Amino acid sequence: MADFRQAVLAAATHAFLTALAGQPIADEALWLEALTHGSTGHPRNYQRLEFLGDRMLGMVIAQWLYELDVSDEGKLSQRLNALVSCTTCAAVARQIDLAPHIQMGKQARDDGGHDSDNILGDVMEALIGASFVTLGYDPTAAMVRRLWADAVAGKAGQSKHPKSALQEWAAGNRRKGPQYSLVERSGPDHAARFTVSVEVHGVGSAEAGGTSLREAETAAAEEFMRKFG
């Protein structure tokens, strides 16, 4: 049963990567490297590909803005920084449901790694790097333009994920990003309960609970937006 489940997961990930690339993928091992977090202990994880993908993303977005926008350098740079930020990369990752395909160790999963903006953003960039290495510039640029179309059109704020919505709300109100902290972890490992607090400096804080750190953070973000949004 376990082997069958792994085969299904592998097939699902292969289908996800093929749809992401928009064509059959070459060197599947490299794409899987882009999905592998360091917590797995595997020597080939996403960090090197993230480094490359970050630069590729910046180049594609910069070229795109140059074509679309006649603003001066300062305004172009400001827009570029927003579009290649960790927050935007994570929002794109959530839109394509990237999280279930990320390979990470148990502790990272239990700590809510599959909903971490940092991890989602990094893996998104790593996938761009993998595309560039295996497919080249033009197919990768086309992929980025497809995935970032809403963000470049100014629609990024329509994200419905509570953590993304709160991050965008804070930025829109010229506040520092929300800070999440674990208030309490209770119960046995098989039925753990987490309580998380989220604070936006100068505004306030909210608490909520869940059966995982990810769930608790999402609930806390929802509660914050209910109170202050």
- Look up the CATH number of the domain holding residue 60: 1.10.1520.10
Please check whether residues 25 and 132 belong to one and the same domain: yes
Min mean pLDDT across 9-13, 22-26, 52-56, 83-87 is at 9-13
Please check whether residues 137 and 98 belong to one and the same domain: yes
- For residue 226, pLDDT over 60 is answered with yes
pLDDT for res 156: 47
Please check whether residues 55 and 116 belong to one and the same domain: yes
Write the DSSP symbol of residue 176: P
Nearest one of 125, 107, 103 to 45, comparing CA atoms: 103
Please check whether residues 12 and 70 belong to one and the same domain: yes
Please check whether residues 117 and 181 belong to one and the same domain: no
pLDDT tier, 109 (very low <50, low <70, confident <90, very high otherwise): confident
- CA angle (62, 21, 140) in 5-degree steps: 25
Residues annotated catalytic, as ranges: 54, 125
Of 133, 159, 185, which one is at a domain's C-terminal end? 159
Mean pLDDT of 209-226: 90
Please check whether residues 130 and 21 belong to one and the same domain: yes
- For residue 189, pLDDT over 80 is answered with no
Highest mean pLDDT among 15-19, 48-52, 111-115, 177-181: 48-52
222: enclosing H helix or E strand: helix 213-228
pTM (two decimals): 0.66
Q: Compute the mean pLDDT over every residue in the chain, rounded to the nearest whole number.
A: 88
Please check whether residues 48 and 131 belong to one and the same domain: yes
Higher pLDDT, 162 or 9: 162
Of 106, 137, 159, which one is at a domain's C-terminal end? 159
Domains held by the chain: number:
2
pLDDT for res 159: 47
* Domain span holding position 206: 162-229
Please check whether residues 178 and 202 belong to one and the same domain: yes
Q: Residue 116 CA to chain centroid, in angstroms?
A: 7
Of 126, 159, 192, which one is at a domain's C-terminal end? 159
- CA angle (217, 221, 225) in 5-degree steps: 170
CA distance 103 to 108: 10
